[in-house]
Chain A
């Protein structure tokens, strides 16, 4: 199989991440979409109304007055001199962005699968095998053991992804490029562990 040069892979990934942000106005997060689909099954559809502009301002003001009464109308004690309120036309439009529906998530995963399939077909053809394509992996695990290891690996990846709130796309691509401390730490942890594990396995099999 012929893989793309690493730098072209980097350019393609960047284009996808930036394109997603520009087109969808939100960060690309593969595991986030999986979580949204699972939540939909567990908790039912999101019933939040689409609110924006004057409608949202009025609802917010009413809820604020109901919660805090007159206190809401006083400036916070430590706040500096309040800046003059901009004219309504100059103010940014207040919007509560509704989360995407399951159709959009399904479309995204469909695209992901088709992209992967195209890439593998262009690289020489599709061949399904229960292996990590490493001689060491094949020497160490045989028969059903291979499936068990791959299943266990997948479970560990899923568990870690949920626990840290992101995967290689959310933390690795979008979080690291924005210098988010949690993403830097998560990415260092999962890549670091991967490097240490591969060296450890190589040593064990030497």
Chain B
């Protein structure tokens, strides 16, 4: 049976960004649609901590 997708998908700003191109889809298949519990954004949200908009699931922060 397929893994359930991340319950934060509808409200996650980064997920919306991952739908933008085929190259970015790898984040969805590796995190959002499978092993979302190891996503840094998901973990921080679960702990009630702020989630920076530029935070990627692997903990990397997007910079200029």
Contacts and interface: CB of A to CB of B under 8 A. Distances in A.
B39 interface: no
A49 interface: yes
Nearest to B55: A48
A67 B20 CA distance: 18
A180 to B, nearest CB: 8
Contact of B63 (A49, A64, A68, A98): A49
A96 B13 contact: yes
Interface string A31-70: 0000010010001001111010001100111011011100
Interface stretch (A8-16, A75-83, A105-113): A75-83
A96 B17 contact: yes
Interface residues of A, number: 35
A71 B63 CA distance: 22
Task: Please classify the interface of chain B as helix (H, G, I), strand (E, B), loop, or mixed, using the class held by over half of its residues.
Answer: loop
What size tier do the contact residues of chain B reach?
20 to 34
Given A51-B54, A51-B64, A61 B26 contact: no
A97 B60 CA distance: 18
Contact of B23 (A39, A59, A73, A180): A73
B56 interface: yes
14 contacts: A36-B50, A43-B49, A46-B52, A49-B62, A51-B64, A56-B17, A59-B64, A63-B62, A66-B60, A73-B23, A75-B22, A97-B13, A98-B53, A99-B53
